[in-house]
Amino acid sequence: MKKTLVLSAALMTLVGFASFAEERTLIDFTRLSADIAVYPQDYDGEKTNNQNKRTVMNYATAAGASFSAEQKDLMKSSLALAEWEVVLNSSARNVSSLAQSQVKAAPVSSNSKQPFAGSEVMGVRVVFPTGAYNANAKIVPPFQIPAYEPYSQADDNGDRQPAAKGEGESTGPKWLFESDDPSNKDEPAYGLVKNVGTLKKVAVTTMGMNFPHALYVLLGDTDNVTRRYFMGYLGFDGWKTLEWNNPEYISEVRTREIRVYPIYPRGEPFVKFEGFQICRDAAHVGDDFIGYFKDVKIIFDKANLTSERDIADEDLWGIIGRKESARQALEMSRFGNKQVNRYVERQKMATEENFTSSLAEDGASNAQSNGGQAADAK
């Protein structure tokens, strides 16, 4: 009898530990290179890729009836690296900083010894004020990553195609910003990981440039709460993995507070990437900050040990589907309204670089341009 109890206790302990320490790549910036060209129909220049096919979204659903079908076809955005934004706090915000702070795709040399040699990582430039006061900047995606956007493929024009029957089932992605293969821990997601319980660790692969600034990772969850995780300082040179370790994580099962939640219709808790935050202390040097980021990884407890059940609860009741549809519509509305306003502002921007001259080009009485500038300088 005692032997049976000991074996049972050991088995329960092993089962408990087996559900711990799931590792996943939350977002890999080398997967976000621009690989399709989405341009206005009247664009007469050389087309270059400007959107990421895997993550492209059409926000025309939030546009009003005043836009033509051709205009709505152009209202697309994606997680392409050049589309990410730098949001400065009030202490750092001025005309020069707003104009020069930006995100670019940074090619890694093919001669690099890193596994991602030849790929593009995220390159960030932030222009901090030189005055002695605190300032910070957030590097955020062009839209809030939707947690409930169903998976579908996009064509080379950025238009989502209806999902084929069975697509997204079994080992394939169910949601657009999930991993292409959720069963593979090394296969990166595009900013979204489902079935996440307690976070144990967060890691960032970044290239330091000896800046003394602090780095935070911003993660959102099922309850629409954004949490900030301090990764460390960037005062080093070269590639490095910075880690946040949960100080309140309890590895011993017997000392954990056991909480039991209803399996249905709560659904799967998730974590999604909401950006980086770089903080510059008043005592440190200001002006330009340059940084590079390759990926963000997480180690976590599974929220649910298994999703296989004898009865298809959702097919029977449809509760999660209705909740997720409503949340998806809200996310799309928020994302779409901002993008539509930017589209309108882009259409209103001046495109002319120079004045149309009122003089004859070969007029003998025209003043020399250098002389005119010199006269103005006096």
Q: What is the pLDDT of residue 60?
A: 79
Task: Give residue 375's pLDDT.
Answer: 44
Given a contact cutoff of 8 angstroms between Cβ atoms, the answer to whether 121 and 104 are in contact is no
CA angle, residues 355, 357, 359, in degrees to nearest 5: 160
Helices (H) and strands (E) in the chain, counts: 6, 14
| Cα 229 from Cα 271, distance rounded (Å) | 13
With a CB cutoff of 8 Å and minimum separation 6, the contacts of 81 are 29, 32, 33, 34, 103, 104, 105, 120, 122, 123
Q: How far is CA 115 from CA 70, 119, 190, 208, 375, in A?
A: 42, 9, 19, 18, 58
**What tens-digit pLDDT sequence spans the chain (378 residues)?**
444 433 333 333 333 444 456 899 999 999 999 999 987 666 666 788 999 999 999 887 777 777 777 677 778 899 999 999 999 999 899 998 999 999 999 999 999 999 999 999 999 999 999 888 899 999 999 988 988 888 999 998 888 887 665 554 445 688 899 998 877 878 889 999 998 988 999 999 999 999 999 999 999 998 889 999 999 999 999 999 999 999 988 877 666 766 666 777 776 789 999 999 999 998 888 889 999 999 999 999 987 776 567 787 777 888 877 887 787 777 777 777 777 777 778 778 887 888 888 888 887 888 876 544 444 444
How far from chain centre, in Å, is Cα 84? 8
Q: What is the pTM of this model?
A: 0.83
SS3 140: strand
CB-based contact 231:245 (threshold 8 Å) = no
Instruction: Check residue 297 and give its pLDDT.
Output: 96
What is the full DSSP assignment across 259-273? Answer: ----STTT---EEEE
The torsion region of residue 307 among left (phi > 0), alpha (psi -120 to 50) and beta comes to alpha
Provide the strand spans (E) within the chain: 22-28, 57-58, 76-77, 85-88, 102-107, 120-128, 135-140, 192-194, 196-209, 214-221, 226-233, 237-245, 270-280, 287-302
| Rounded CA separation 100/96 (Å) | 6
Which amino acid would we find at residue 348? K
How many residues would you count in the chain? 378
Residue for token pair 């657009």: 176
Question: Can you tell me the distance from the alpha carbon of 253 to that of 150, in angstroms, rounded to the nearest whole number?
Answer: 36
Q: What are phi and psi of 369, to 5 degrees?
A: -65, -40
Judging by beta carbons within 10 Å of its beta carbon (0-12, 13-18, 19+), is residue 193 exposed, middle or buried? Answer: buried
Give the tokens for residue 115: 């596994």
The pLDDT value recorded for residue 121 is 97
